[in-house]
Amino acid sequence: MRVPMRRIDPPSFAPEYSQREEVSFYDGVTLREYQQLQQHWEAILASAHAAIEAHLHECALDDPDLFPYRAALSGEYYFDKHVSHMKAGSLRRVSVMLEARCLGYRPQRSPTPMDYCAIGITLLFDPDEIRFETFYTDHRVIG
């Protein structure tokens, strides 16, 4: 069962570190490559959104004793503002690493949605073809 998700701005309870706009470069990403990535930011976000929904479709569970529990998800997420870039295996591709913070319901803690599940997403950018490919996703408990 698909979990439809919607991107939101970071809520007021978002951790301070996730609201700082930071960019990290590793392993030889050039300023030109970074600028090229910025020209395609909406495509990066669209690819990351598709990766989030695909990951939750595959990994969200229907058992309330397991994580992530599908029914606990509110359907909203926001991106941590820290984005990392590094060279991927081939010298032509650049990895873009983002973290989505999915909101969920935890009735024992709050009647409103709060941070529930972080999804790490690594996209590979091919500057020759101007396309993004999901390379890796994972999830962990937050909040």
Residue type for position 118: A
**Cross-strand pairs, 73:** 104
**pTM for the structure as a whole:** 0.83
What CA–CA distance (Å, rounded) separates 93 from 86?
A: 9
Per-residue pLDDT tens digits for 54-75: 999 999 999 999 999 999 999 9
3-state secondary structure 96-113: EEEEEEEEEEECCCEEEE
* pLDDT for res 70: 94
Per-residue pLDDT tens digits for 24-53: 666 778 888 888 888 999 999 999 999 999
Residue 91 has pLDDT above 80, yes or no: no
Read out DSSP for 4-72? --EE-PPPTTS-HHHHS-EEEEETT--HHHHHHHHTTHHHHHHHHHHHHHHHHHHH-BS-TTSSSBGGG
Q: Determine the 3-state secondary structure of 125 from DSSP.
A: strand
